[in-house]
A and B are shown apart, each in its own frame.
Chain A
Amino acid sequence: MGLLQRALDEAGLCTLSITQNMEITAIIMPSRALYVGHPFGLTFGDVGDGETQRRVLDAMLDAAATMTHRGIRDSGFEWDRDDLRYRQLRKQGC
């Protein structure tokens, strides 16, 4: 995702991405990213949780409008309903 964003940035497009891992994004360094601490495969929220999905999307739009310099913004979205993300980050589950 970060490499793709970099290519769009180089083409002169205005971009804003979600990152679910700051360490990788810090290596790739795309222009602007919003950190969301959700599990992989549940980027915008849980199945059927339309409210959270909308809030994450809204946070992307807000970041696109208000991030005036490059870097990563922490959205504050975290995952506390189970250990899925913890296991994914350690390659102990998908």
Chain B
Amino acid sequence: MLESRGANFAQIERDHVRSRVYAAFDWHPFDRFSPYTPLRVPVSEARVAFVTTAGVHLPEQPPFDTAADAGDSSWRVIPTETPLAELVLSHGGYDTRRASADPNVVLPLDHLRSFAAEGRIGALSPDTYSFMGYVADTDRLLRDEALAVAAFLLADRVDLVLLAPT
């Protein structure tokens, strides 16, 4: 594994953000895992939602703020049935050209829809939630934005939330 070759990426990333973007940045460490809620139904019966931090949004939605030093903790709702070709990306933390060519590399909605049609999962949530992965000032994310998305997911009665970074 590359991480075991001597480089500490967590330290490299912290130093990179501090020196180039946001001097006050540091990781928010925890001393215990967050609670674990078991999957209560078989995957083949589960209602599945997807959360991405790829900076994906609809063309008519405002782009994520890639210029803010402290990042952007806002989020967008994308109808899960949206054709991937209609999505656009705004993210300063990775090269979005590959994901623009094939959004399934970060947001595999084509495959999720196939899994639902094939019975691998029970159903897809009608909404997908998109964040932009660079959020150096996490207070608002934790205080407001994440709780708002959690409320929507609970109201949607999803059985499983899959989250994928970039």
Contact = CB atoms under 8 A, between A and B. Distances in A.
Most buried by A among B7, B27, B102, B115: B102
B35 A23 contact: no
- Where chain A touches its partner, the secondary structure class is mixed
A20 B165 contact: yes
The 9 closest A-B pairs by CB, nearest first: A7-B146, A11-B150, A9-B34, A41-B94, A17-B163, A70-B33, A23-B10, A1-B165, A6-B34
Interface residues of A, number: 62
B9 A14 contact: no
Contact of B161 (A14, A47, A53): A14
Nearest to B13: A24
Interface of B: 1-3, 7-10, 12-13, 16, 27-40, 42-43, 51, 53-54, 93-96, 98-99, 101-102, 104-106, 108, 110-112, 114-115, 120-121, 131, 133, 135, 138, 141-142, 146-147, 149-151, 153-154, 158-166
B154 A11 contact: yes
Contacts, number: 206
B40 to A, nearest CB: 7
Given A24-B9, A37-B1, A61-B43, A44 B104 contact: yes
A20 B164 CA distance: 9
A10 interface: yes
Contact of A15 (B10, B30, B104, B163): B163
Given A7-B147, A41-B98, A41-B106, A64 B33 contact: no
A64 B162 contact: yes
Interface in A26-42: 27-32, 37, 40-42
Contacts of A60: 162, 164
Given A24-B13, A94-B94, A43 B106 contact: yes
